[in-house]
Chain A
Amino acid sequence: MTETVLQTQGLTKYYGSTLAVDHLDLKIPRGSICGFVGRNGAGKTTAIKLMLGLLRPTAGSSRLLGCDSAALTPAIRQRIGYVTEGHRLFRWMSINELQKFQRAFFPKQWDDKLFADMIEYFNLPRKRKIKHLSNGERAQVSLALTLAPNPELLIMDDPTLGLDAAIRRQFLEGMIELIMRQGRTVLFSSHILGDVERVSDRIVVIDKGVLRANCSLEEFRAAVKKVILSFADSPPAEVDIDGMLHCRRSENDLELILVGPADEQIAEWAKKNRAQKYQIVKMNLEDQFIEFTAPANHRRLFQWEDK
């Protein structure tokens, strides 16, 4: 049986009357690389902070490496790497000073060679102060600091936010360095679905604080479908197909966003409702995510009328 390294049960957080995380039930098995995705304000940062015991849940609980998040011991924290949102580090410290500071907390597990290799790979000036580094450089320092202690579980809060494509790629390659080591688990939140697709084997989708998906990336890719059906006259008024998320109508066409149904089921429904033709449109992960998390009454920002 696969060991669970991260588990939440009914994890809920209110800020005053605002619900940020709503009964989050999550299990992340050891060795998985999990992309934690959601729109802005979906509750990703709050969920991560709850998992790390930086916030107190209003209800529910969470466990990291078998320890209650509300009472993470220093020994458990030592096994968890955490990259904060925006890579907030002590601005007055140089990279060398930060290395010394961080190493003190990992006396046995700190890998000086790995840190030096990463700093060299990223071509970072060791004596330069953090405040004089660019966003991308800060992200790279942050990653090197987090990977050098060789953490069992790495949690990263939007680590590639604001980075350009080249730096993002370097950052992800650095991440892969850790992933290559056996038994390491990574949970990283991101807006950039391309990054998730590149490194993750698992996807967790959160929307308005509610967990919408927690499955392997292949399952998600296979499950979310866009189907366009064409009819001789107007499409049926009611669409009673399993797993329907959205239904958009035009004159004779019907565009359906579906989660789950097999292609045969779609074909059967199309036949039953006398569709002239139907087409299952291949979507990339970003489109799938946007459709999956779009509100039911979602409209386009700009709507042009055909003339």
Chain B
Amino acid sequence: MRFSALLRKELRESLPWMLLAAIIFLAIGGFALRQAQLYGRYDWSERDFSSGSFTGSYGLQYRRSPLQLIGIILLLTSIGLGLVLGVRHFWIPYFTRTWPFLIHRSVNRSTIFWAKLAAAIISFLISVGAIWVALYSYSCDPERFTMLPIKRVFIEGWLFILLGLIVYLGTALTALSTARWYTTKIFSLAFATVIICAVMFEWRLSWAFAAIIIGAAILLSQINYTILNREF
């Protein structure tokens, strides 16, 4: 009952950002996929590239995988959503001075954090996760696309969503940090950036997932320790 009250509150606070992320991702992702659908039907060998309307690599990309175009949009949307939700959940309460009210609830401090994290996960699942699944399903239709996406592209998408959550955790720890200097404060965000780079440059999916799990475990343990011992 208490957890669900906290969860509802956090979800309500996340709602505008969840919707914004969903709209951005759906609009840009949907547009890109639609473009791929329209132009991907052409056989590029028959196209007149001399007009400059298509480059060779541009045409080639379409032929490789229409869904791959959306990957970078998904990554950027996830990172943006992670940042915004982290700020909303952990930084804004300092400015509105609502931390003391929240901390004095009859729950453990870690419960407050888990409610925030649960709200963030739900937000990611609804705003980018569900749309990613919808776009993948759409691009799997052979009637619409000549080149169907491979499963790896779909899994990579989930990696990008998890990276958004890593950014969320990094932002949370930055907001909770009691370090005096901003350079020290943003250390956890820098750590999240390192995880993103490690995942982006790792070709093996299992290693990429491992990097995310290890990074998340480090950030979670630090956040839990900080929230239990921090002054509000």
Contacts and interface: CB of A to CB of B under 8 A. Distances in A.
B89 to A, nearest CB: 13
A55 B104 CA distance: 12
B47 interface: no
B104 A74 contact: no
A105 B9 CA distance: 13
B106 A101 contact: no
B98 A88 contact: yes
B13 A105 contact: no
Nearest to A72: B104
Interface stretch (A76-84, A254-262, A264-272, A290-298): A76-84
A77 B105 contact: yes
Interface string B42-65: 000000000000000000000000
B232 interface: yes
Contact of A104 (B4, B97, B229): B4
A307 interface: no
Interface residues of B, number: 22
Interface of A: 49, 52, 54-56, 74-75, 77-78, 80, 82, 84-86, 88-93, 100-101, 104-107
13 contacts: A49-B232, A52-B100, A54-B231, A56-B231, A84-B97, A85-B97, A88-B101, A92-B13, A104-B4, A105-B2, A105-B105, A105-B106, A106-B106
**Which are the 9 A-B pairs with shortest beta-carbon distances?**
A104-B5, A78-B106, A74-B106, A88-B97, A77-B106, A55-B231, A105-B106, A82-B104, A54-B232
Given A52-B100, A80-B104, A107-B1, 8 more contacts: A49-B100, A54-B103, A82-B104, A84-B97, A88-B98, A91-B96, A101-B5, A104-B5
Interface of B: 1-2, 4-5, 8-9, 12-13, 96-98, 100-101, 103-108, 229, 231-232
